[in-house]
Structure 1
Amino acid sequence: MSLIEKIKENAKKYNKRIVLPEGEEERTLQAADQIAAEGLAHIILIGNPNTIQEEAGRLGLNNLDKVTIIDPTNHDKKQAYTELLLDLRKSKGLTEEQASKLVENPLYLATLMIKAGDADGEVAGAQNATGDVLRPAFQVVKTKPGISVVSGAFVMILPNDTYGQDGLMVFADCAVTPNPDAKQLAQIAVSSAETAKAIAKIDPKVAMLSFSTKGSAKHEFVDKVTEATALAKALAPDLKIDGELQADAAIVAAVGASKAPGSEIAGQANVLVFPDLQSGNIGYKLVQRLAGAEAIGPVLQGMAAPINDLSRGCSVNDIVNLVAITANQAAEA
């Protein structure tokens, strides 16, 4: 059974409520129909019910009777969500009139449903830019306690199962924060370990990557990684983590034993935390292309509830898979 098949099997057990705010969009509707048919999650579609039903008929969809459809302009919790948003944003100068308008925006409504406990997670981005998806998420759902930075991880499935945990690894941050400081990098490490457990179901062994191993080079870039390692240990005392480590010292047993003797992570790492977005994005793409690895993601991490962003060029299958991943994250939240 492949990893994504395992993720789907787990999602079926969890039966989480995942809201899709782009409920009138064709691929989203097709994905919702497939998810309902497979029982991967309880789907909540936001959109005009008449438009959704018309599109469902045109597309020949047969399972939308199993999903919940919320009309963003007319539903019984509109006033409650307006008051919730006003309470969350009044210190920022939000007026009641502005709040009542924003709750009709499906992206805001989705996050308010999560905040109110009426949904467990969200998947969006088939129609909307990343910034538009994340803005209400930051304002309403916010980040986890103790976490101030959102990051993007990829689950890497390697053809060579001698690396990571039987060929499974997690790389971060590959998608969101360009140049994290030491505190942010530490938080990314902790979040990435949680992603490894929630999605890949692996016991995380985290390597904080650098061009130096245990002081072999001196530079402020190295200092950032060593400081981040110490901060991560303080944030999560039980986390198996070490750094700074070069990539070969992190994943090759013989090199790890030579360069970092006594380390419980060197040569055994299955979570790689890159020092910045440039190296992370380059690293995952090189492994994907040159090693023939499958890259699942990006999975957003650090939010108080799972909210994941799609590419606007996504396929129906991409949406289905990301909903299953989001359900797994929600189960660990």
Structure 2
Amino acid sequence: MVNLDNFIKGRGAQFNTANKFIRQSTDFESVDGIDIWEDINPKTELIAVQSNSLVNKVTSPDVGMYYSANPYQGCEHGCIYCYARNSFEYWGYSAGLDFETKILYKENAPDLLRKFLMNKNWDPVPISFSGNTDCYQPVERKLEITRKMIEVCAEFNQPIGIITKNAGVLRDIDLLSEMAKKRLVRVILSITSLDENLRGKMEPRTSTGLQRLKALEKLANAGISVGVMVAPIIPGLNDNEMHNILKSVADAGATTAGYTFVRLNGVIHDLFKDWLFKVFPERADKVWHLIESGHGGQVNDSRFGTRMKGEGPIAEMVKQQFKKYTASFGLNQEIYSLDCTLFQRPGEQLSLF
């Protein structure tokens, strides 16, 4: 039985990895060689930033989006497998505990979005919220930056896609339902596990799986197009849940589903391995080798086309199961497209041609 007495509850990462962009760092040790911890469970720190840009072009062919807009850097959800951890090093922080305890928020995000949409060179295509970190992470309840961004998009009839692990998206159902009437919004709920024991350790500050299912149902009943991402699939941990998750989301009103095969890029390798062997020591070796089997003997693959789905017998089995279950439950039967023809800048007349 694993001893989690020193496990930092409510956090995914259990330490700070070194930042590859910082060559020198300092640590404090007491004179007798015993480390002094001021706070065993570090509290979340909110850091305001004035950014110069918000909307970024997405060049990866694997993620299914054109542009993304991220009002937050760092994410309190603390998902141990999150690929976005690596990008946090660009801000001078660690991808480990820093990523989930130091949340940078772009105070001027709504203004930046408005400025971007007012640019005459903008040829409207959908913009995805949460292409990097979750736009509905816990701090959004207080700051409401995402809501203000949605209000801007509604004013311009700018189509958006939202992907989140947080049932907090329901707060904005009034705005989203109005946009949905014009086919201007689509919401994707990411559901990795319905096992609360696993969810609570793997993505500790996310909404529960049940809460996400209820949110999905409420969104669908409000006329909002909803889908689900079962991501990532981690063989030996949550791959056995695919059937139940896909059936549950179909019953709740989802029309589409997608998945990714876990990959541990950059320092996520060290963070996930540390977490895995602490939390599931009895099957850690097996899980690790199963992940390696999906990436040609490695736990990461940076190649477009294979990095998100994996390859080899285990990855192929996951692919076939996903294909079977989505067909059985009537998912992915139709392509839902957002309407980009209604885009209109304030003060301009909508073209009839």
**TM-score between both structures, scaled by the size of structure 2:** 0.24
- Give the structure, 1 or 2, with the largest relative contact order (CA under 8 Å, sep 6 or more): 1
TM-score, normalization by structure 1: 0.25
